[in-house]
């Protein structure tokens, strides 16, 4: 069978040559051959010079997605096995505790539209492209061969699949198994349900960001008016002895808490008290379970509430915290919704920073790739101006090491995470 060829236009931006892994319909001059949706196609420039092989999908705006830059390899089951093996080796090399992590991150691992997360002995697969969809048995076979897992669960239950002409699908790939898994992260135990949780159950992309909270969680006692003199026990402003061993810890508000991973790290690193807020009762139950599992229940409290309302109410009631953490879901699902999304981000950040005591900390994230890092920071600047606050950056971070970024593909660089000191103005 001859492989079809897509000739790209002469006058186009040389994105493919710069490492961008997609071809859009408007970039194609002509197609030679009669490719069917999901077939492998050769991408060539206007004079027929080979550029890459990709998966063809005429129904998608991503009409071709690059699978290899070589014209010598055959896109077969063995190539899938090799690519997944390479991605796994990279994690074992770079991720300190690779027993649970993202193993394959789509395009950035040269497997377009394929996500694989490993939760101890369980694997979760998400398929977002037609090319991988019709070859998914190759993925399952490779995973069985490499990992011999207790089970594989598919979480292709995301609306973006429609853009590829695919229905949503979710469930056990083979035999059913218990979908609750306890993963360990930075010494904590975190119970995750790969069937019920958000996305594939947990967010590995913030592992390093959660660890970055460590130095922030202590050093607050003096600001709370607690004094230590010599070898005596600490005393509060009224001269009373302080018995709480976490007297030097921060009071933390963790909004959009989901599994409670930020709350757990806050407690691990010495927080005095953490308030978790999530709109989903199930998420609140999960976070509570994780607090219990790690012995933090007495330092935590939980609210099932809409964070937009909750933040505003707390501002009205003149409540305040040492540290406010905002880790919302992606408000911008596409380019069209970006302006509305920015209003949403600005609102929670504005209210969030009002709740931070003078000199305290705002920890804020966005996982919408439609919102650039520059726009994220300018949105925060606008919020700070409106809230009469001055922000001083401690750290600006991205996704963790198991979520690689292709320099030519801004879509792979989606996560923004900033830690600020907040001052009154």
Contact range with ligand SAH by CB under 6 A, out of 10-18, 154-162, 250-258, 417-425: 250-258
Three-state DSSP class for 421?
A: strand
Residue 308 as a binder of ligand SAH (CB under 6 A): the answer is yes
Residues 6+ away with beta carbon under 8 Å from 145: 81
Burial class (CB in 10 A: 0-12, 13-18, 19+), 338: middle
Task: Say what the alpha-carbon torsion angle 330, 333, 335, 338 is, to the nearest 10 degrees.
Answer: -40
Q: 367 an active-site residue?
A: yes
The whole-angstrom separation of Cα 295 and Cα 293 is 6
Shortest Å distance, C-beta 323 to ligand SAH: 14
- Which 275-304 positions form the footprint of ligand SAH (CB under 6 A)? 277-280, 283
Shortest Å distance, C-beta 184 to ligand SAH: 15
Residue 306 as a binder of ligand SAH (CB under 6 A): the answer is yes
Choose between 52 and 283: whose C-beta lies nearer to ligand SAH. Answer: 283
Choose between 53 and 290: whose C-beta lies nearer to ligand SAH. Answer: 290
Residue 307 is given by DSSP the state H
Residue 307 as a binder of ligand SAH (CB under 6 A): the answer is yes
User: Which residue in 165, 139, 164, 168 sits closest to 156, CA to CA?
Assistant: 168
Shortest Å distance, C-beta 277 to ligand SAH: 6
Binder among 327, 370, 379, 415 for ligand SAH (CB under 6 A): 327
Binder among 57, 126, 186, 261 for ligand SAH (CB under 6 A): 261
Contact range with ligand SAH by CB under 6 A, out of 257-265, 295-303, 394-402, 407-415: 257-265
Q: Which two tokens stand for residue 397?
A: 């971070």
- Which 115-154 positions form the footprint of ligand SAH (CB under 6 A)? none
Residue 188 as a binder of ligand SAH (CB under 6 A): the answer is no
Binder among 7, 110, 247, 262 for ligand SAH (CB under 6 A): 262
Shortest Å distance, C-beta 112 to ligand SAH: 25
**What's the Cα-to-Cα distance from 272 to each of 154, 299, 365, 421, rounded to whole Å?**
39, 6, 23, 19
Choose between 327 and 413: whose C-beta lies nearer to ligand SAH. Answer: 327
Residue 204 as a binder of ligand SAH (CB under 6 A): the answer is no
Q: Which two tokens stand for residue 133?
A: 């969809």
Shortest Å distance, C-beta 403 to ligand SAH: 15
Three-state DSSP class for 7?
A: strand
Out of 101, 267, 276, 367, which one is annotated catalytic? 367
**Size of site (CB under 6 A) for ligand SAH:** 19
Residue 329 as a binder of ligand SAH (CB under 6 A): the answer is yes
Alpha helices in 186-278 (DSSP H): 207-211, 261-268
Burial class (CB in 10 A: 0-12, 13-18, 19+), 133: buried
Shortest Å distance, C-beta 368 to ligand SAH: 12
Binder among 57, 209, 259, 412 for ligand SAH (CB under 6 A): 259
Choose between 164 and 278: whose C-beta lies nearer to ligand SAH. Answer: 278
Residues 6+ away with beta carbon under 8 Å from 418: 362, 363, 364, 365, 376, 377, 380, 393, 395, 396, 397
Residue 60 as a binder of ligand SAH (CB under 6 A): the answer is no
Kindly give the pairing relationship between strand 50-56 and strand 40-44.
antiparallel
Choose between 45 and 198: whose C-beta lies nearer to ligand SAH. Answer: 198
Q: Which two tokens stand for residue 238?
A: 């009224």
Binder among 138, 153, 203, 414 for ligand SAH (CB under 6 A): 203
User: Which residue in 308, 301, 249, 295 sits closest to 274, CA to CA?
Assistant: 301
**What's the Cα-to-Cα distance from 77 to each of 83, 84, 130, rounded to whole Å?**
10, 11, 16
Shortest Å distance, C-beta 365 to ligand SAH: 8
Residues that bind ligand SAH (CB under 6 A): 198, 203, 256-259, 261-262, 277-280, 283, 306-308, 327-329
Q: Which residues are catalytic?
A: 367
């Amino acid at each position: 069978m001859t492989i079809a060829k897509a000739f790209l236009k002469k006058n186009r931006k040389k994105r493919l040559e710069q490492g961008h892994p997609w071809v859009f319909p408007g970039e194609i001059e002509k197609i030679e051959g009669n490719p069917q949706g999901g077939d492998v196609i050769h991408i060539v420039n206007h004079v027929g010079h080979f550029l890459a092989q990709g998966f063809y999908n005429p129904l998608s705006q991503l009409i071709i997605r690059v699978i290899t830059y070589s014209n010598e390899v055959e896109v077969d089951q063995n190539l899938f096995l090799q690519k997944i093996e390479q991605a796994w080796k990279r994690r074992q090399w770079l991720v300190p505790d690779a027993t649970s992590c993202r193993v394959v991150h789509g395009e950035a691992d040269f497997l377009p539209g394929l996500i694989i997360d490993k939760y101890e002995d369980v694997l979760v697969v998400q398929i977002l492209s037609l090319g991988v969809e019709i070859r998914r048995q190759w993925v399952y076979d490779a995973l069985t061969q490499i990992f011999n897992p207790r089970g594989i669960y598919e979480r292709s239950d995301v609306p973006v699949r429609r853009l590829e002409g695919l229905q949503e699908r979710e469930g056990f790939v083979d035999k059913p198994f218990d979908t609750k898994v306890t993963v360990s992260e930075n010494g904590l135990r975190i119970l995750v349900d790969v069937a019920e949780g958000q996305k594939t159950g947990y967010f590995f992309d913030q592992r390093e960001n959660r660890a970055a909270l460590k130095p922030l969680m202590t050093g607050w006692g003096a600001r709370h008016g607690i004094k230590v003199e010599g070898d005596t026990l600490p005393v509060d402003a009224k001269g009373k002895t302080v018995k709480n061993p976490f007297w030097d810890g921060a009071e933390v508000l963790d909004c959009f808490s989901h599994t409670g991973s930020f709350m757990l790290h806050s407690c691990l690193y010495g927080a005095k008290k953490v308030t978790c807020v999530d709109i989903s009762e199930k998420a609140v139950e999960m976070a509570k379970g994780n607090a219990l599992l790690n012995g933090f229940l007495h330092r935590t409290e939980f609210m099932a509430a809409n964070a937009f309302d909750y933040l505003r109410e707390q501002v009205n009631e003149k409540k305040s915290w040492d540290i406010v953490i905002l880790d919302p879901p992606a408000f911008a699902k596409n380019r069209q919704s970006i302006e509305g999304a920015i209003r949403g981000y600005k609102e929670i950040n504005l209210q969030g920073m009002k709740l931070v005591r003078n000199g305290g900390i705002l920890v804020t994230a966005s996982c919408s790739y439609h919102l650039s890092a520059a726009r994220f920071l300018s949105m925060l600047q606008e919020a700070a101006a409106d809230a009469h606050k001055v922000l001083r950056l401690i750290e600006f971070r991205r996704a963790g090491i198991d979520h690689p970024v292709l320099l030519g593909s801004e879509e792979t660089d989606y996560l923004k995470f900033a830690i600020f000191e907040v001052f009154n103005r």
